[in-house]
Amino acid sequence: MIVEHDILIVGGGLTGLRAAVGLCDRFSVGLVSKVYPIRSHSIAAQGGINAALTNNPDSRDDSWEKHTFDTIKGSDYLADQDAVEIMCREAVPIVYEMEHWGCPFSRFPDGSIAQRPFGGAGYPRTCFSADVTGHVLLNTLYERAVAKGVKIYPEWFVTSLCIEDGQCHGIVALDTRSGELIPVRAGTTFFGTGGYGRVYQHSTNALINTGSGIGIAYKAGAPLKDMEFVQFHPTSLIGTNILMTEGCRGEGGYLLNNQGERFMQRYVPTAMELAPRDIVSRCIQTEINEGRGFDHPLGTYIQLDLRHLGEKKILERLPGIRNICIDFIGIDPVREPIPIMPCQHYSMGGIDVNERCASEVSGFYAGGECACVSVHGANRLGGNSLLETIVFGKLAAKAILEDLAGGARKAEEKPLLKLRDEVEKKIRKLTEPGKEKPYKLHAEIGVAMSEQVGIFRTREEMDQALAKLIEVKQRYRDVGVSSPARHMNYELINALELEYMLEVAHTIILGAILREESRGAHFRRDFTTRNDQDWLKHTIARMGPDGEPVLSFKDVVITRFQPMERKY
């Protein structure tokens, strides 16, 4: 069996769905997703989506230009400024479009879309639906995809991407229900496969966020960009690391140490709790490291206090947060502060694409968190990721339509069948008895990444992480899963994904070791300042002939904002 489409989309989150909706009228489009699209991790986004709508009484003189500046400053000047301009300009029509398609945003008394303040933003411009903004956006786009009859292949796990002679020919996928390996031939392939949070032990991300899409593209020959830039969210629930939205602080929540002190006062007295995420995470981690955290069997924590907001506001604006706290740690934030710690949250880096979502491989495009345009640079602002997913899903569709103006690209069957045979061989080997279990290797690399390639980094610790990675890569060759049955065999999928996770981790560690400066979320204790002279550039990682990452650099696009010191 072989499946054919003009355009193949991998990923059923916001980016993939938006691209599919933009393409399905003109071409044969197939959307492959390893879960039902509505289960994608976009669903978990809470706080909101940024757009300079000027609905908030305090944001009447906001503009897309100011949004652009905030984003570039937030990125510590590593974002490509032309791309940021495009995104922030497009933000306003995108939010209206989603609203017209039915997205139930929260409203202001005048009936306009409600907006709340978010970190690093000069104006309250984050549009939201209580604290379930990702949920309502994903439902709306899925509804749109249903209305348009987009062909979806749910629970198909992509094992490999087929690139030969600089041209993409499609993918090989495992239909997890039947257990069959299926080549999908397509002249154009778009990845909206999400981030790699699960490479870290502590992450707010869903279990499906392994970053395998990024690893698959990299292994097939597509370069990655800025992989060392990993966002650590300031506020995740201790234990489970479930996200406590920045909206908690946007609505007025405090961060308190064990002295009862709003410690942000000491670090960023103007922005306080609403400084950008990289900064707040470092402040919290410093408080914890210096003994001003609270002890708990699940780990040392800092308090996120919402009590002064009052029950009414919490129930109206943060009902999901309240439910999560009650369900998962038995605490009602109306009455008690929430115990939080910073942890991995978002991947600024990803597949190297331009502002049209095109990679250097003909016929291969990527957008959303798996890609790096770059619009977030060294640190993403809260509310800009939902924005990025939909804007670049839309722009990718536009770019693909332009590129296919003369008709769909042709793809070859031969390399695809060859690839299928390779995957077949790989799976057969994984299902033979082996002495290593995928979960153990996953856990070991996760600990190394969280502890040694985390919020604060040093050469020494990262060298240890690298040694661990090389050891784990070696041991991966002896991985064996329990059953050769291929249908609904999640252990097999975990084993297949682990290979790509290790590649992703490798590029993160090497990029972080190489970059001897501190910029945005990448903070080196041994190089504590930003160094524009040597490091105002993107890191590119591609797989070398020996399978090791080879790093090079790319210029940052600077249009109207010259880099200056980033102060809040």
Catalytic residue among 125, 135, 249, 515: 249
Q: Apex CA 91: angle with CA 350 and CA 7, to 5°? A: 55
Local structure of 12: helix, strand or coil? coil
**Annotated catalytic, 233?**
yes
332 counts as binding another protein under rule CB under 8 A:
no
Rounded CA-CA distance 547/94 in Å is 41
For the chain, the 3-state helix, strand and coil shares in percent, each to the nearest 5, are: 40, 20, 40
Scanning 434-561, the segments in alpha helix (DSSP H) are: 438-452, 459-476, 490-514, 532-535
In the complex, minimum distance from the CB of residue 96 to another protein, in angstroms, rounded to a whole number: 6
Total binding residues for another protein by CB under 8 A? Answer: 63
- Which of 160-168, 332-340, 446-454, 483-491 is the region at the interface with another protein (rule: CB under 8 A)? 483-491
Decide whether 43 or 222 has the Cβ nearer to another protein: 43
In the complex, minimum distance from the CB of residue 33 to another protein, in angstroms, rounded to a whole number: 11
AA identity, residue 86? I
Among 7, 17, 23, 38, binds another protein (CB under 8 A): 38
Among 3, 6, 24, 41, binds another protein (CB under 8 A): 41
Each residue 206-245 as x (binds another protein by CB under 8 A) or -, in order, gives xxx------------------------------xx-xx--
* 417-456 positions binding another protein, by CB under 8 A: 437, 439
| DSSP β-ladder status, 29-33 and 151-154 | parallel
In the complex, minimum distance from the CB of residue 313 to another protein, in angstroms, rounded to a whole number: 14
* 239-298 positions binding another protein, by CB under 8 A: 239-240, 242-243, 297-298
H or E segment at 288? helix 277-289
Running DSSP on this structure, what letter comes out for residue 215? H
- Which of 97-105, 166-174, 409-417, 549-557 is the region at the interface with another protein (rule: CB under 8 A)? 97-105
Reading phi first (left if > 0) and then psi (alpha if -120 to 50, else beta), residue 120 is in left
Rounded CA-CA distance 523/516 in Å is 9
Decide whether 106 or 344 has the Cβ nearer to another protein: 106
Exposure string of 309-332, with b = 16+ CB inside 10 Å and e = fewer, is beeeebeebbebbbebbeeebebe
Provide the β-strand partners of residue 182. 173
Decide whether 337 or 363 has the Cβ nearer to another protein: 337
57 counts as binding another protein under rule CB under 8 A:
no
**Annotated catalytic, 296?**
no
473 counts as binding another protein under rule CB under 8 A:
no
In the complex, minimum distance from the CB of residue 41 to another protein, in angstroms, rounded to a whole number: 7
11 counts as binding another protein under rule CB under 8 A:
no
36 counts as binding another protein under rule CB under 8 A:
yes
Residues 6 or more apart in contact with residue 396 via CB below 8 angstroms: 15, 19, 22, 190, 356, 357, 365, 367
The DSSP-derived string for 24-91 is: TTTS-EEEEESS-GGGSGGGG--S-EE-----SGGGTT--HHHHHHHHHHHTTT-S-HHHHHHHHHHH
In the complex, minimum distance from the CB of residue 462 to another protein, in angstroms, rounded to a whole number: 27
110 counts as binding another protein under rule CB under 8 A:
yes
Rounded CA-CA distance 49/60 in Å is 18
Decide whether 146 or 550 has the Cβ nearer to another protein: 146
In the complex, minimum distance from the CB of residue 260 to another protein, in angstroms, rounded to a whole number: 26
Distances (CA, A) of 367 to 11, 22, 250: 10, 14, 28
Rounded CA-CA distance 33/314 in Å is 35
Among 44, 401, 514, 558, binds another protein (CB under 8 A): 44
Decide whether 96 or 294 has the Cβ nearer to another protein: 96
Given a contact cutoff of 8 angstroms between Cβ atoms, the answer to whether 416 and 169 are in contact is yes
Rounded CA-CA distance 409/565 in Å is 46
88 counts as binding another protein under rule CB under 8 A:
no
Decide whether 240 or 286 has the Cβ nearer to another protein: 240
Decide whether 113 or 375 has the Cβ nearer to another protein: 113
Among 57, 61, 65, 147, binds another protein (CB under 8 A): 147
Decide whether 108 or 553 has the Cβ nearer to another protein: 108
Local structure of 534: helix, strand or coil? helix
Decide whether 406 or 433 has the Cβ nearer to another protein: 433
List, by residue number, the catalytic residues. Answer: 233, 249
Contacting positions for another protein (CB under 8 A): 35-36, 38-41, 43-44, 53, 95-96, 99-102, 104-113, 129, 132, 135-136, 139-140, 143-144, 146-147, 177, 206-208, 239-240, 242-243, 297-298, 320, 323-324, 327-330, 437, 439, 481-483, 485, 487-491
